[in-house]
Amino acid sequence: MDRRRFLTRVALGVLGLGLGAGAVAAGDAVASGFRPTFAPTFGPAGGSAGSGGPAGPTTSPRGLGHPRPEPHPMPVAQRLPPYFEPPHLTRVRLPGATLSSLPGPGNLLALTVDDGASSEVVGAYTELCRRTGMRLTFFVTTKFASWTENAAAMRPLVESGQLQLGNHTMSHPDLTKLSTGAIQAELAGCGDFIRSTFGVDAAPYFRPPYGYLNAHVQSAARDIGYHQPVLWYGTLSDSGRITEAQVLDFAQTWFLAQHIVIGHANYDPVTHVFDQLTELIRDRQLQPVTLNDVFSR
């Protein structure tokens, strides 16, 4: 019962961080010209994100000497910006070893979305990114028509780096059961599709279907340029159909700093709770990132 009430509160977008956090945030906003308070590493607002950005006060208090304290701080949901800005990070080298979380302390969240069995869900994620500035990495499985069907809408976001494309094979097999040649054919075929359709190279990132990985798979993949397997540290558990409440429940559990979280573009319930998911990310002051935002190849 308590849990359901908690989820309802999240769904209504009223789960704030308390007055203490609000007071600190108001101070930061004054000092930084109303930059988002959850991303202290931001540089100048980038590209179209800036022009479509936060609808903060148009009369900046900068230069007024001693801005008056806000007598009635706005609720968190109104104070936070409507748009995720691109991060400005100093990228680190890829570990080479299997990646399941992001290194070091920080406030980053790497959402990764796999498969693409539903063209509508791929389209909805793409629109979410366009609308909110969300950054994520798709792990593309090329047997699904969704990637071709949504290519035109995805392309500008791929080109800007807001959407990253990783390799999730052609037919989604258990790679540990395949020969070296078959493993490489699965990865190379997917990589070729991504390159010819979107003009980008998915390598070195690949996600083995089901997370099934062994030394043989890694060696075969490495030999054709895929030297960075990506697993996860938290999941929306929606490779099959679950309810919207369950998606939110898993997000509550796993949307945490420096986590790589896996979701799937297979069933539509997740698309019905996009607003609650973005609220949750903002409330937790997390910065959405792609893997390329964090790592140099």
> Where do contacts with Zn ion occur on this chain (CB under 5 A)?
114-115, 209
Nearer to Zn ion, 8 or 148 (CB): 148
Q: Which is nearer to Zn ion, 114 or 293 (by Cβ)?
A: 114
Between 86 and 209, name the residue whose CB sits nearer to Zn ion.
Answer: 209
AA identity, residue 142: T
The minimum distance between CB 120 and Zn ion, in angstroms, equals 18
CB of 172 vs Zn ion, minimal distance in Å:
6
- Backbone angles phi and psi of 109, in degrees to 5: -130, 120
Residue 141: CB minimum distance to Zn ion, A: 6
Minimum distance between the CB of residue 250 and Zn ion, rounded to whole angstroms?
16
Nearer to Zn ion, 35 or 207 (CB): 207
Closest-approach residue to Zn ion (CB): 114
* CB of residue 210 to Zn ion, shortest distance in Å: 7
Residue number, 150 or 169, with CB nearest to Zn ion: 169
Q: Is 22 helix (H, G, I), strand (E, B) or coil?
A: helix
Q: Which helix (H) or strand (E) holds 176?
A: none
DSSP H stretches of helix in the chain = 2-11, 18-32, 47-51, 76-79, 119-132, 146-149, 151-160, 180-198, 215-222, 244-254, 274-283, 291-294
Task: Give the span between the Cα atoms of 119 and 148, in whole angstroms.
Answer: 9
In degrees and rounded to multiples of 5, residue 169 shows phi and psi of 75, 170
